[in-house]
Amino acid sequence: MQVEGESWFYSDIVKKHFLDPQNIVKDKKTIKDFDGYGQVGNMKCGDIMEMWIKIKEDKIIDCKWRTFGCASAIASTSMLSVMVTEKGGMKIDKALKITAQDITKRLKGLPSIKIHCSVMGDQALKYAVWDYKTKNKRDDIIMDQPKETDH
């Protein structure tokens, strides 16, 4: 694939999710009625990600996000938001098992130097579920308190 005369290092699916991200939040004022919120990242590397989830009957039925990051971070989070909401929503326990490798596989790969970008989405999701769990006193949701990894 060529982009303005240079090779494009990403799959067509990554390109699609980067150029037309799904479930992205452009204005935080539009976020209403969400059950959990998560934020990860640091300004040292420049990537910051926020995620909002809506839960019904223990399924994630909506997932909105915004990130300040590279094409891989944007595409990875867009894909994650699709993964957890498709087919009527994913059960919380199953969503907590999503790994960076699962996201990368759905994207048909990422350059090896960009794999760390796919980690942000699953971390933000874990923080959002933790927020939901603690606010709603849902001790039946089995998970460790998330700890952000330095990417």
Known catalytic residue: 45? yes
Q: Which residue in 143, 20, 106, 122 sits closest to 71, CA to CA?
A: 20
Taking residues 16-35, what's their average pLDDT? Answer: 94
**Given 13, 24, 25, 45, which residue is catalytic?**
45
What's phi and psi for 29, nearest 5 deg?
Answer: -65, -20
**Given 117, 119, 124, 129, which residue is catalytic?**
117
Q: What pLDDT digit, counting tens, does each position of 32-51 carry?
A: 899 999 999 876 766 789 99
pTM reported for the whole predicted model = 0.89
Query: 105 near 57, Cβ under 8 Å?
Result: no
Q: Which domains does the chain have, with CATH numbers?
A: 2-135 (3.90.1010.10)
